[in-house]
A = this chain, B = another copy of it.
Amino acid sequence: MKALVYAGPNQKVLEERPKPELRSPTDAIVKITRTTICGTDLHILKGDVPSCQTGRILGHEGVGIIDSVGTGVATFKPGDRVLISCVSACGTCHFCRRLMYSHCTAGGWILGNTIDGTQAEFVRIPHADMSLYAVPDGADEETLVLFSDILPTGHECGVLNGRVLPGGTVAIVGAGPIGLAALVTARFYSPAHVIMIDLDEGRLANAKRFGATSTVNSTDGKAADAVMKITNGLGVDTAIEAVGIAATFELCEQIVAAGGTIANIGVHGKKADLHLELLWDRNISITTRLVDTVSTPMLLKMFCAHKFQPKELITHRFPFARILEAYDTFANAAKTHALKVIIEA
């Protein structure tokens, strides 16, 4: 089969690989019908993710059709249409029993990282009963690709951890795909105000379309002042970091209200300064999280009930044969205005 393979820092190749086989009774083999590219794939390609070795098939998102299942798989059978979760979960380890699937001792984020991933014609999914979801009848499968990672990530790491509540004030730093995923799922909890912060006017205009009540362009380095002005000097109840660098995290420290929460989504490569001399008496919380995908069933219910329409996060579509072009488009979002790019089988 064809597969997109990490060939060492700054190198990727589309090459022929053998079709994966069942290795454990709880495995399933899924024929991929649609997948996508994540910012994390770009991190891997930069050589920033040491757990991902040269030769790995990338990708941890997608929908497809069950090709075969192990004898221990109870929920799925060949021909079933399924959504693939970016996080694999055994369901039984001490982390899974606490619903922290991200830290599953036999799973977690392994797809396209420590085992071969979804940017291929077929993929082996361990712990299939816990790591796949049946495609709901009549659901738009293209949109479902967003439920593999980006929507649960925005919701769990940003919105749930950030304790977004009716009447609250939220700032989201970073209006890229993950910031927008936080925005669209924040609205489930009816915050009174959502302030979107970014350097790019196009992205900010986009954020308005997705429901931001205010936008702040942080190019001038005065974003904190702007947020304080919008919030009458109180700051925000929830500050969501959706970039992954020290500067944006430290901006969150400046704008979080007393009693508020900084919810980190960003993948950080370096430390940040934590200004405890200013924050020790502010009654704040800071949270980090690798998505657990525990809210995927709820997100699917909301989608099936037509309570939100995340489809507009998809900006480009490519056939699998042109996946290298899809990578270029996604990597040059400033120019291409790409949010999520769909790769079709």
Contacts and interface: CB of A to CB of B under 8 A. Distances in A.
Interface of A: 25-26, 70-72, 74-75, 90-92, 94-100, 102-103, 106, 109, 129-130, 165-167, 187-190, 192-193, 213, 244, 246, 249, 258-259, 264, 266-277, 279-290, 292, 294, 297-299, 301-302, 304-305, 307
Contact of A290 (B98, B102, B281, B297): B281
A166 B334 CA distance: 33
Q: Which 8 pairs of residues, A with B, have the shortest CB-CB distance?
A: A72-B72, A268-B276, A192-B305, A167-B301, A281-B290, A274-B274, A167-B298, A91-B91
A216 to B, nearest CB: 18
B285 A277 contact: no
Given A269-B277, A307-B190, A92 B167 contact: no
A248 B333 CA distance: 42
17 contacts: A25-B72, A71-B71, A74-B90, A91-B96, A94-B297, A99-B99, A100-B259, A249-B276, A266-B280, A267-B280, A268-B280, A270-B277, A271-B273, A271-B275, A272-B274, A274-B286, A286-B286
Given A26-B72, A167-B302, A305-B192, A283 B290 contact: yes
A36 B299 CA distance: 41
Nearest to A289: B283
A297 to B, nearest CB: 7
A116 to B, nearest CB: 21
A258 B72 contact: no
A288 B298 contact: no
For A284, A286, A288, A304, which residue has the most chain B Cβ atoms within 10 angstroms? A288
Contact of A283 (B103, B259, B307): B103
